[in-house]
Amino acid sequence: MLELEKSSVTGLVDRAERRGLVRRIAVPGNRRAVHVTVTTDGRAVVHLVREAVRAEIGDLASTLSERQQGSFRRSIETLILHYVTQHAIPV
């Protein structure tokens, strides 16, 4: 989905782990694999980022007319539905 090299993902996880945002859990029976879980601090950061993005999108959308906002909202909903369907993401 993100099309990142394994080494790039490892670096991202390393940095997030150092900041206490995620933790690695060994996979029993597979010494090369780990599960990565988001910590409580990581969830708090995700929440803050989501709220900041929502506020920014709200500010941008406020420059549109009500009709344009409705069209924009419907377009975004269509894109999200298409994405979750294509990637089998539970809604």
Say yes or no to pLDDT of 28 above 90: yes
pLDDT on residue 90? 63
For the chain, give the secondary structure using H, E and C.
CCCCCHHHHHHHHHHHHHCCCEEEEEECCEEEEEEEEECHHHHHHHHHHHHHHHHHHHHHHCCCCHHHHHHHHHHHHHHHHHHHHHCCCCC
Are 13 and 25 within 8 A, CB to CB?
Answer: no
Q: Does pTM top 0.75 for this prediction?
A: no
Identify the band that residue 86 occupies on the pLDDT scale cut at 50, 70 and 90: confident
pLDDT at 87 over 90: no
Residue 36's pLDDT band (boundaries 50, 70, 90)? very high
**CA distances from residue 1 to 38, 84, 88 in whole angstroms, order as listed:** 19, 12, 12
Residues 34-61 have a mean pLDDT of 95
Close Cβ partners of 60 (under 8 Å, ≥ 6 residues apart): none
